[in-house]
């Protein structure tokens, strides 16, 4: 069982009082198009859909349908945010899936982009959402604080370099192309980063800590 929560907002060309009804009809049609059975209803100022799949349905089939459904959601002409909870068996676990969907909505609002978010594809963001923000900030400070201070004091972009380097999985060619800099410039910046933070990016533990700190930093920045 999945729960999909819609935020209730007005859509272009539709009067506000009819926005909720329009969203419900659009959702029902989208579910029908991808052959997902669902019960759509109002709940606490939002639209909730209880989705169900046959007990013998393969996970690959379910994922395929939900992917197609997500594509349709992204085509909705108005400003909506849809959270899709984890697949749960039986009515006892419905509340867990509902809470998953609510967390997906919060993540969408934090990211300020996108219309749909599936809990199963959320990765580490869900763990970070449930973690003490002060502890997350301390982790970033412990591992990136000196670099942030250096960038602010010297008006440099070493943190940006590190983030792009991380994004491209330490691929030098892709990183230099993304930053539009020469290879020698990248080597110089990496040496600076290692010197400032007293780390070696080639060491797995140092790299893991920095990768986590960078991910948390981006999460906190929204």
* pLDDT given for residue 217 in this prediction: 95
The two domains 2-122 and 131-221 share their CATH topology (first three levels equal): no
* pLDDT given for residue 10 in this prediction: 44
> What string of pLDDT tens digits covers the 222 residues of the chain?
455 555 444 444 445 445 677 788 888 999 999 999 888 887 777 788 888 888 888 888 999 999 999 999 888 877 788 889 888 877 667 888 888 888 888 888 887 778 888 888 777 887 888 789 899 999 999 999 999 999 999 999 999 999 999 999 999 999 999 999 999 999 999 999 999 999 999 999 999 999 999 999 998 887
The fold of the 131-221 domain, in CATH, is Arc Repressor Mutant, subunit A (1.10.10)
Q: Strands (DSSP E) along the chain, which ranges?
A: 2-7, 37-43, 46-52, 82-84, 116-118
* pLDDT given for residue 14 in this prediction: 46
* pLDDT given for residue 190 in this prediction: 97
pLDDT digits (tens, 9 = 90+) for 103-121: 888 888 887 778 888 888 7
Percentage of the chain exceeding pLDDT 90: 45
- Name the β-bridge partners of 21: none
**How big is the chain, counted in residues?**
222
The fold of the 2-122 domain, in CATH, is Alpha-Beta Plaits (3.30.70)
* pLDDT given for residue 4 in this prediction: 52
* pLDDT given for residue 154 in this prediction: 93
Cα–Cα distances (Å) from 168 to 143, 147, 175, 210, 217, in that order, read 20, 20, 6, 14, 17
Return the closest-CA partner of residue 102 out of 217, 208, 25, 5.
5
Rounded-to-integer distance, Cα 176 and Cα 94, Å:
48
* pLDDT given for residue 13 in this prediction: 47
The model's pTM: 0.67
Three-state DSSP at 128 gives helix
Three-state DSSP at 4 gives strand
| Residues 103, 5 contacting (CB under 8 angstroms) | no
* pLDDT given for residue 81 in this prediction: 85
Residues 6+ apart with CB under 8 A from 16: 10
* pLDDT given for residue 113 in this prediction: 75
Rounded-to-integer distance, Cα 177 and Cα 124, Å:
28
| Residues 85, 104 contacting (CB under 8 angstroms) | yes
Domain boundaries, the chain: 2-122, 131-221
Rounded-to-integer distance, Cα 5 and Cα 44, Å:
10
* pLDDT given for residue 212 in this prediction: 96
């Amino acid at each position: 069982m999945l729960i999909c929560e819609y935020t209730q907002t007005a859509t272009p060309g539709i009067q506000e009082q009819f926005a909720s009804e329009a969203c419900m009809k659009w959702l029902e049609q989208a579910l029908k198009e991808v052959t997902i059975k669902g019960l759509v209803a109002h709940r606490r100022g939002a639209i909730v859909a209880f989705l169900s799949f046959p007990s013998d349905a393969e996970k690959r089939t379910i994922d395929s349908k939900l992917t197609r459904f997500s594509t349709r959601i992204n085509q909705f002409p108005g400003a909506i945010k849809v959270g899709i909870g984890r697949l749960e068996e039986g009515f006892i676990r419905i509340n867990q899936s509902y809470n998953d969907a609510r967390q997906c909505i919060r993540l969408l609002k934090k990211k300020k982009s996108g219309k749909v978010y599936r809990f199963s594809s959320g990765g580490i963001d869900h763990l970070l959402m449930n973690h003490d923000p002060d502890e997350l900030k301390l982790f970033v400070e412990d591992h990136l604080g000196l670099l942030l201070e250096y960038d602010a004091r010297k008006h440099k972009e070493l943190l940006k370099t590190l983030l792009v380097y991380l994004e491209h999985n330490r691929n030098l060619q892709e990183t230099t192309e993304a930053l539009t800099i020469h290879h020698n410039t990248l080597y110089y910046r990496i040496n600076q980063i290692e010197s400032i933070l007293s780390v070696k990016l080639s060491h797995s533990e140092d790299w893991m800590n920095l990768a986590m700190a960078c991910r948390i930093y981006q999460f906190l920045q929204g």
